[in-house]
Structure 1
Amino acid sequence: MNIKEYADRDMLAIDVANALAGDLEAALLHHDTVSLAVPGGTTPGPVFDGLCAADLEWDRVCVLPTDERCVPGDHERSNERLIRDRLLTNRASVAQYIPLFVAGHEPEAVLPEIESLITPILPLSVLVLGMGEDMHTASLFPGMEGLSAALDSHAPTLAVARTDVQPEARITLTAPVLEGALSKHLVIFGEAKRNAFGRATSLPPEEAPIAAVLSGMSVHWAE
């Protein structure tokens, strides 16, 4: 695990975008199709703004969210909306997008269909994660029902996450899928998250789910 600190968030965004572009370019040298899994939320937008302009063969890249709220793709809380608006534009507009949620269906009902699309592109070529102050990552939350199953090394590709603190159900990639990515980057901002990350490194994944996916991780932090 490598931790890199930046003078400000703008420098972090530029550096991470360049690192991701390099990882994707390297993967494209060895595979016909490569995969890029990215988070939603407010953190990755500036990284996406730089990455979408990278001179890559984007038509050979499959992009998917690390997790998704069970809301329509144009909803303000949808990770798909952020990814389409900020990443799947410019040169990256020709990349293939794999959604984790299909509107009009209970999340459990669509898991087999979505997993059938994801399985051929595993292991993930490049993964970007965020982390909450509660040390959750993707939609693997401490204390949520089904967390142990989603952390298990034999977990299926996807899991449904329901918590008391979230207004809707979520669909998330499970820990072994995240951990198995060939290139992994964690982006965190602020002192509170830096402190939470420090605690997570000495806690079991049941208490700090981010701890389940840290091997070989590049951690990028700015205040």
Structure 2
Amino acid sequence: MIEVARQEYPDRDTLMRDLAALVADQLRAAHATHGKATLAVPGGTTPGPFLSALSEADLPWPDVRVLPTDERRVSEFSARSNHRLIAETLIRNAAAGAELIALHEPMVGSLEKRVQAVLPLDVLVLGMGADMHTASLFPGAPELAAALAPDAPVVLEITPPSQPEARLTLTAPVLRAASVIHILITGPDKLAALETALADGPAEAAPVRAVLTAPCPVTVHYAA
């Protein structure tokens, strides 16, 4: 059985506000130590309120680099773009001056250099699907084993059979090397998936296990 810290909240609004405050504190600490801070965040609809709350935090945002944990192979102006979601919810208000690193580079090699320059991640926030994927590490994707490997490249293109387009994702070694990891989940379906993922088994069957077993502090934040 995988052991991780778990925090349950009375409602989703409280979860989003409290997680934003916690992440802001951790970014301040990273900045105080390094003079810079790197934050990776998920796309999708669930984290939107968290990102909006974080956008109002009092931080040295011009020294904060923000990047998506993964991105769909779509235009950055597409409604399905994680870049667009992050730009519209986080890179505004007090956080308008933060540097948002796009994962839309057509050539993965060029993108790798840009991402490598801001690693390691100081704070990593991830979501998780009911299928136990995280970032774009999807069960059943032909590239999953390569993305989970200790010698995986920084960024890898993934073609999950369950998804309508290819994706780019930060790979397991990059995610596992973060200084601190938060996993944000809501709803009973994802809670049930988490319980399955916490059981012993291969990461290929439940890719979120790759981060649940990371050597850094990992906390799961849940609200119904």
* 2:39 aligned partner: 36
Note if contact 1:152-1:176 (Cα within 8 Å) is conserved in structure 2: yes
Q: With the length of structure 1 as denominator, give the TM-score of the two structures.
A: 0.95
Q: Secondary structure at the match of 1:121?
A: coil
What is the CA-CA distance between 1:24 and the residue it aligns to?
0.3
Note if contact 1:156-1:174 (Cα within 8 Å) is conserved in structure 2: yes
What is the CA-CA distance between 1:204 and the residue it aligns to?
1.3
Note if contact 2:38-2:122 (Cα within 8 Å) is conserved in structure 1: yes
Mapped to 1, the partners of 2:112 and 2:33 lie a distance apart of: 24
Mapped to 2, the partners of 1:100 and 1:182 lie a distance apart of: 21
1:24-78 per-residue CA deviation (whole Å, 9 max, x = no partner) reads 0000001122110000001111101110011100000110000000111110000
- Map residues 57-136 of structure 1 onto 2, 5 A cutoff: 57-102=60-105, 105=106, 110-136=107-133
Q: Secondary structure at the match of 1:128?
A: strand
Note if contact 1:33-1:121 (Cα within 8 Å) is conserved in structure 2: no
Structure 1 stretches of 4+ moved >6 Å: none
What is the CA-CA distance between 1:19 and the residue it aligns to?
0.6
Letter in 1 for 2:147: A
* 1:144 aligned partner: 141
Letter in 2 for 1:191: P
Q: Percent identity?
A: 49
* 1:21 aligned partner: 24
Mapped to 1, the partners of 2:157 and 2:139 lie a distance apart of: 14
Alignment counterpart, residue 59 of structure 2, candidates 56, 59, 67: 56
Mapped to 2, the partners of 1:198 and 1:204 lie a distance apart of: 14
Alignment counterpart, residue 202 of structure 2, candidates 193, 198, 204: 204
Q: Which runs of 5+ in 1 are unaligned?
A: none
Q: 2:162 matched to 1:165?
A: yes
Q: Secondary structure at the match of 1:10?
A: helix
Q: Secondary structure at the match of 2:110?
A: helix
Q: Secondary structure at the match of 1:172?
A: strand
Q: Which runs of 5+ in 2 are unaligned?
A: none
